[in-house]
Structure formats: C-alpha cells, structure tokens
Homo-oligomer: A and B are copies of this chain.
Amino acid sequence: MPTRDAAQLGQNPAPTYDAYLSTCPARQLVDRISDKWVTLVLPALADGPQRYSDLARRIDGVSQKMLTQTLRTLERDGLLTRHVTPSVPVRVDYELTPLGLSLMPLIASIKSWAETHMDEVSAARDDYDSDSSR
C-alpha cells in the first residue's frame, strides 16, 4: 500500500531523512528552526495574523534586520505567508500556513518549557558553579 499508514501515529518510523547525518537536508532544516528568533516568532503568530510592527513590539529586543530576515526565511520555507495591504502607510501581515501551524505548537512547547523550568535550571547552575571540586 503506497498510502502513508504511519502518518497516523505520533511517532513516525525512520523516514528518508536523518538529521544525525551531516549531509542530510534535514540537518540544515534543524539548524534553521532551532533558532532563537524562530522560537519567538512562531508562537507570536499563534493567535492569527500579526502585523510586522506588532511582532517587533512583542518580541522585545529583536532588530529590524533579524525580524525581517527570520520572517523571510520562514516564508521561503513555507511556514508563513506575507500579506501586503497597499494602503498609506503600507500594512503587512504575517500568518502561519498549515505547515507552519503544524510546527508552531512544538516550538511553543520549547518556549513554554523554558519559562516553566527556569527556576530548576537556575538552581542547577548555582549547584554546578558552587561545586569547588569541579
């Protein structure tokens, strides 16, 4: 059967791609999405389309360059779309595609984990740093 039965399972068997291999395209994709700004941009689009300025304001400290660059890359990879409203001044909205929507919750869980377990990580760092026998 040529249909993908495995797709119904949460855990897919080894596909044609393997990120452990340095030459595999998936390795480069892992590199792209395992990115600080991606981890902030995707969850920021969870509640529907957002204007460029909204994203810039929400994601504190991001430079225009990095925000634009990140959005362009995500657009090229098919994770979000860019809608330009030719008003004056111009208005640009970004929205997750179905593909982006499939990745977003996974990324959001990482961000959420960081926020939830920050205290434990801090404690571990203090513990590590205070051990003189290291």
Contacts and interface: CB of A to CB of B under 8 A. Distances in A.
Given A12-B112, A40-B19, A29 B121 contact: yes
A91 to B, nearest CB: 19
A111 B26 CA distance: 8
A128 B31 CA distance: 20
B22 A61 contact: yes
B111 A30 contact: yes
A29 B114 contact: yes
Chain A, interface size category, equals 35 or more
Contacts of A124: 76-79, 99
Nearest to A38: B34
27 contacts: A12-B115, A12-B116, A18-B115, A19-B114, A20-B58, A20-B59, A26-B115, A29-B114, A29-B118, A29-B121, A30-B40, A30-B114, A33-B113, A33-B114, A34-B34, A34-B36, A34-B110, A76-B129, A77-B124, A77-B125, A78-B121, A78-B127, A99-B120, A103-B110, A103-B113, A106-B113, A110-B110
